[in-house]
Amino acid sequence: MTETVRRPPFDPELEAVLTLLSDQMPPSITPEMIPLLRQAAPASEVSVDDVLAAAGIVRRDVTVPGHDGDEIEVSVLSRQGRTGVGPGIFHTHGGGMIMGDRFVGLDLLLGWINDLDAVVVTVEYRLAPEFPDPYPVRDCYAGLVWTAEHAAELGIDPDRLLIAGGSAGGGLAAGTALIARDEGGPALAGQVLIYPMLDDRDRTVSTTQMDGIGVWDRSSNITGWSALLGDRRGTDDVSVYAAPARATDLTGLPPAFIDCGSAEVFRDEDVAYASALWAAGVQAELHVWPGGFHGFDIMAPHTVLAKAMRTARDSWIARTLGV
């Protein structure tokens, strides 16, 4: 018999969803699954535009300079007929550093665009393993720089520019904020780190608890970090921009919002990052939703916990943007 690992139970409503979705979802993602998973992702173009049209949102794709000046694409999303200057949100999407496109998490963006009248710039950073570190975080930073430089033309008030991302996108948002601080880049009004992927070292209690269970388990996380860092994963040769959990100096960073579930790999690194921000004198708001698995707000939006998570997050963004 295997040793029983103690871990927080899933919230019953979320567990019911997980049970139904589990036949479509392997708990553990291994490197050889990456091509298949990318293929399996739905062709997003048509449905994205349908969703945007239904929400009354205009999309403009722009080619901008990425890392080393290579061309990357961003999409500028705003409410139809929007005029003047207002809040801006620079978005870095999730997908474990290995999957997804800039429209992953679109559902979250719609509310920010329509309810907060924000202009969202979402960046198509290049994915590992084909483009390992530092490509992803440097593409994100280049996209942020472009956004800040074009703030006036985009209708963004430069004093009200946030960075936001979920999962791998949360880690990239935190890393981008660190680069911006260190290289005198754009000033950020806040960083929204949604269940962020921050630590490549695979040494938390939560990662051992979520092994072969839930969503984006320990093996999947190792797959993602290995794609990004190769042999450097877990060694001393990893920059704080790739794995912000390694940062020892968090002073001077923008205020942070961090949320996660208690039943996910990222729980402990996310809590630790919030604690480290407080220790450095940075304002931070932390929510750990009991029994939540990774990404439960996207997968189970009808549940009471998902609604509470969205409400708390959107409230922070509205307060921070002064909406």
Tokens of 65: 């300079």
Report whether 312 contacts 259 (CB < 8 A).
Answer: yes
Tokens of 245: 């959990």
Query: What mask of x and - would describe binding to other proteins in positions 31 to 50, judged by CB under 8 A?
Result: ------x--xx---------
Tokens of 288: 């750990």
SS3 77: strand
How far apart are CB 254 and other proteins at their closest, in Å?
A: 26
How far apart are CB 245 and other proteins at their closest, in Å?
A: 19
- Interaction between residue 105 and other proteins (CB under 8 A): yes
- Interaction between residue 304 and other proteins (CB under 8 A): yes
- Interaction between residue 55 and other proteins (CB under 8 A): no
Q: Which of 77, 99, 116, 193 binds other proteins (CB under 8 A)?
A: 99
- List residues bridging with 162 in a β-sheet: 89, 190
DSSP state of 24: G
Nearer to other proteins, 88 or 292 (CB): 292
- Interaction between residue 95 and other proteins (CB under 8 A): yes
How far apart are CB 299 and other proteins at their closest, in Å?
A: 5
- Interaction between residue 169 and other proteins (CB under 8 A): no
How far apart are CB 14 and other proteins at their closest, in Å?
A: 9
- Interaction between residue 308 and other proteins (CB under 8 A): no
Report whether 93 contacts 109 (CB < 8 A).
Answer: no
Measured at the alpha carbon of residue 147, what is the angle toward residues 145 and 151, in degrees to the nearest 5? 120
- List residues bridging with 86 in a β-sheet: 156
Pairing status of strand 190-194 against strand 256-261? parallel
- Interaction between residue 51 and other proteins (CB under 8 A): no
- Interaction between residue 290 and other proteins (CB under 8 A): no
**Part in contact with other proteins (CB under 8 A); list of ranges 63-71, 93-101, 124-132, 230-238:** 93-101
Q: Taking CB under 8 A as the criterion, which residues in 256-275 touch other proteins?
A: none
Tokens of 10: 């899933």
Q: Which of 144, 177, 263, 298 binds other proteins (CB under 8 A)?
A: 298
Report whether 114 contacts 79 (CB < 8 A).
Answer: yes
**Part in contact with other proteins (CB under 8 A); list of ranges 59-67, 109-117, 119-127, 300-308:** 300-308
Report whether 266 contacts 197 (CB < 8 A).
Answer: yes
- H or E element at residue 232: none
Residue 24 C-beta-side C-alpha neighbours within 13 Å: 7
How far, in Å, CA of 250 to CA of 247, rounded? Answer: 7
- Interaction between residue 227 and other proteins (CB under 8 A): no
Interacting residue ranges for other proteins, rule: CB under 8 A = 11-13, 15-17, 19-21, 24-25, 29, 37, 40-41, 94-96, 99-100, 104-105, 167, 215-216, 220, 294-295, 298-304, 306-307
